[in-house]
Structures are given as structure tokens and as C-alpha cells.
Amino acid sequence: MNSKCVNDITLCQSCVTNLKLNQLNFIEINNTHYLMKKLILFFVLFSGSFLSQTFGQDSYKDNIASQPIWGPAGYNHVDYYYLPDIEMYYYIPRQKFIYMEKGRWLFKSSLPPSYKNYDMYNARKVVVNEPRPYLNHQDYRIKHESSDGPSNQQLIRDSHESRYFVNKDHPEHAKWKNYRKNKEHHRGQGQENVRTTN
């Protein structure tokens, strides 16, 4: 503003124009800050979503010890097996078979009596790590109905990978447990020897 405008109540035309430009600059700066905040928020949300999808599988807790030995080897974590030959599911965390009866999905500890002789070791099994896959049963049925014949999947029971020995039903579990016990015992003795020599 010029000195005449400071002393006079009325503003000259150039001062009014300068004030309007300053207001526009202020609004433009505020809009830029607002836009930057929105972009940063979008980036944070997007990167969080991306990371959870990328590393989400790694956050699953290993449940090898809970998987039945008739299950296929090669999976650190499994939620469900879909059994396409009998159109049923097996839920690993609760160790329950899930099947439709009279229009309702039932969770049972064993197969229905009509399948009591069903061979789980030679059955085809599809690993499913999605919540409640039985609610999309038609999709699973269509996708997996084409294969016939026995499964050629390696079973946990037949695997010689030591990571499966933690499973209490694995044939090597007792040996593995004794090995670990002896190893801990020897480690403890080694520490006692170190203490006595000091």
C-alpha cells in the first residue's frame, strides 16, 4: 500500500488490486496445502493396503502341527481342505468336517456314516485359505469337478521334511521329540560345565 492509502480511509485502485491478489495467493496456497494433505493421506492408505496384500500371506501363523497327516505336504498354513469327490470341506483350526445336510452346513468331528469308509489318504484335497469357502460352494464345485481318479499329492504322513515332525501324528514325531529332548539336555549340561569352570 502507498502512504496516501494508509492515512486515508479510501483505498486507491492499485491497493485494492494488490489486496485481491494477496487474497488469491493465500487461497491458492491453502488449496495447495489441502491438496498435498489429500495426496499424502491417499499414499499412506494405498501403501498400507499394498503392503497388507503383499505381505499378508507371511502374517499367517504356521499351523503345520494342526494339519492332519492325510493332508497334502508343502503348506505352512492351511485353513480348509475342499474334498471335491464328496463335496465337503475340512476346517483345520477346529478339526471339523463341513458338509451340507438338509440345506444347512454342519460342522462335525467325523464324516457322515455313509462315508465312514472314505479313504482320506487317497482323496483329492484342495487347499483353501479363504474365509468360509463353503458359502461359495458352487464355485468350488464347478472349478474342481473335472479331475477323477486318486490323488497324487504327497501326504504329510509320507514327507521326510523335518518341519512336519512337529505334527504329533507324523510317524517320525516320537524320534523328533526325543532328538529335541536330548539336544536340550546336552545344551543344559554344556551350560552347567561352563558355570562350574568359571
Q: What is the pLDDT of residues 22-41, one digit of tens each?
A: 555 555 656 666 667 766 76
Taking alpha carbons only, the member of 149, 153, 136, 147 closest to residue 98 is 136
Give me the pLDDT at residue 25, please. 58
Q: pLDDT per position in the chain (198 positions), as tens?
A: 555 555 555 556 665 556 555 555 555 656 666 667 766 766 666 555 544 444 444 445 789 999 999 999 999 999 999 999 999 999 999 999 999 999 999 999 999 999 999 999 999 999 999 999 999 999 999 988 866 555 678 999 998 888 888 888 888 888 888 877 887 766 666 555 555 555
Query: 127 exposed, middle or buried (CB, 10 Å; 0-12, 13-18, 19+)?
Result: middle
Query: 18 exposed, middle or buried (CB, 10 Å; 0-12, 13-18, 19+)?
Result: middle
Parse the chain into domains and list their residue ranges: 3-57, 67-187
Handedness of CA 145, 148, 152, 158 (dihedral sign): positive
In whole angstroms, what is the distance from residue 89 CA to residue 177 CA? 31
